Amino acid sequence: MESSAIEARGLHKRFGGVHAVRGLELHVARGEVFGLLGPNGAGKTTSMEMLEGLVIPDEGEIRILGLGWARDGKAIRSRIGVQFQSTQLDDKIKVREALTMFASFYPHARDPDDLLKLLQLEDKADAYQSKLSGGQRQRLALGLALVNNPELVFLDEPTTGLDPQARQGLWEMVRRLKSEGRTVLLTTHYMEEAETLCDRVGIMDQGQVLQLGTPRELIASLNQPSYAELEFEGDAPDVAPFAERLGMPVEAKEQHWVVVLTDPRHDLQKVLNCVEALALPMQQLHVRRASLEDVFLQRTGRSLRD
Ligand SMILES: Nc1ncnc2c1ncn2[C@@H]1O[C@H](COP(=O)(O)OP(=O)(O)O)[C@@H](O)[C@H]1O
Ligand SMILES: [Mg+2]
């Protein structure tokens, strides 16, 4: 039987008094796009770096593509790709030069010009990497991780700080990696990213994976299929008469109310009837389905964006 891409059991890492990773268990199948989703400080990078062989765990076991770091580090390294922060590159290096330099480390490297095409950086081949936009720089960093044609690719917050369009571009590349049969482990604190890109997601907080599954499974576990958000012009009116008449819990924010629709077919009608009956000055009504953000909120009582 073919081994998994990643197997981690009982990983722990402490930095002085900080217990950064507490008992991480992870199984990632080949061909999967797996996301670790969590806020800053959750332990995502430390987890990633242990799996990449850059940080030695205090406890636990790691198998990468069926191999262990202690005995087969060199073999593992030749088969994985790690996205570096491109800020670690010399400012005076040009895009094609960087790809060529990285290619020289490997016996069967990909042709830099093919990579430039894949990354849509052909017209930037002779530009200094320091002159690239954020999105271009992230694509270059991804390209450097792909030089050795890796079976398994590690991407640590690949789209942090990118504008929506650049983010879409990166997502497209990740989808492409999957379609080529590669395995991807990525970290993110953007729930949309985890939701649209990942086959499975581990929700991480304070060094632990709190919940793990497909985005659909995680969201379904809430038993809260959707939410209605009622917006008002200016501040929202007193919520009490509405909540009483509706007979469902209403979360009142400063400028809008949120109602959980457990049965959208009936509940939405009730909401509208109450708005009508009380002649509320509602300006906008949004219905949105539950998201991974809501899963995180329910598990931790905090927002991912804190
Ligand atoms: N080299 C280090 N020395 C000391 N503390 C560290 C080090 N690396 C990470 N930490 C701490 O470990 C915790 C997890 O950090 P990290 O793995 O970077 O989380 P994330 O990537 O989810 O933001 C944080 O509290 C962080 O400050
Ligand atoms: Mg990090």
Query: Quick one: average pLDDT of 151-155?
Result: 98
Q: Where are the domains of the chain?
A: 4-214, 226-289
pLDDT, one tens digit per residue, over 63-80 is: 999 999 999 999 999 999
**Alpha-carbon gap, residue 219 to 215, rounded angstroms:** 6
Structure tokens at 227: 């939410």
Quick one: which of 184, 208, 170 has its CA closest to 300?
208
What pLDDT is attached to residue 264? 81
pLDDT in tens, 99-142: 999 999 998 899 999 999 999 999 999 999 889 998 999 999 99
Task: Decide which of 225 and 198 is more confident.
Answer: 198
Residue nearest to ligand 1 atom 24, measured at CA: 41
Nearest ligand by distance to the CA of 208 = 1
What average pLDDT score do residues 200-205 get? 97
- Segment 229-233 shows an average pLDDT of 93
Around ligand 1, the residues with Cβ closer than 6 Å are: 15, 18, 20, 38, 40-46
Residue 13 alpha carbon, nearest atom of ligand 1: 12
Whole-angstrom distance, CA of residue 181 vs CA of residue 201: 18
Question: What are 265's two structure tokens?
Answer: 């077919």
Atom of ligand 1 nearest to the CA of 42: 22
Q: What share of the chain is helix, strand, coil (3-state, %, to 5)?
A: 40, 30, 35
**Ligand 1 centroid to 43 CA: how many Å?**
6
Q: So what's the pLDDT on residue 87?
A: 61
Strands 33-37 and 200-205: parallel
Do residues 296 and 37 touch, judged by C-beta distance below 8 A?
Answer: yes
Q: Whose CA is nearest to atom 16 of ligand 1?
A: 43
DSSP 54: S
- CATH top class, domain 226-289: alpha beta
**pLDDT tens figures, 3-31:** 899 999 999 999 999 999 999 999 999 99
Task: Say whether 226-289 and 4-214 share the same fold.
Answer: no
Which residues touch 63 (CB under 8 Å, ≥6 apart)?
3, 4, 6, 7, 8
Q: In this prediction, what percent of the chain has a pLDDT beyond 70?
A: 98
d(CA 269, CA 271): 5
State percent of the chain over pLDDT 90: 77
* Residues 12/21, Cβ–Cβ less than 8 Å: yes
The CB density around residue 23, as the number of other CB atoms within 10 Å, is 14
Longest CA–CA span in the chain (Å) reads 74
Q: Phi and psi (nearest 5°) for 227?
A: -130, 145
Residue 85 has pLDDT above 70, yes or no: no
Pairing between β-strand 33-37 and β-strand 183-188 as defined by DSSP bridges: parallel
Cα-to-centroid distance, 70 and ligand 2 (Å): 25
pLDDT at 172: 94
Please, what sign has the CA dihedral across residues 267, 268, 271, 272? negative
Cα of 295 to ligand 2 centre, how many Å? 20
Query: Does pLDDT of 151 surpass 80?
Result: yes
Half-sphere exposure of 227 (CA within 13 A, CB side): 19
| Among protein residues, the one whose CA lies closest to atom 12 of ligand 1 | 20
Rounded distance from Cα 14 to ligand 1 centre (Å): 9
Mean pLDDT, all residues of the chain:
93
Architecture of 4-214 per CATH?
3-Layer(aba) Sandwich (3.40)
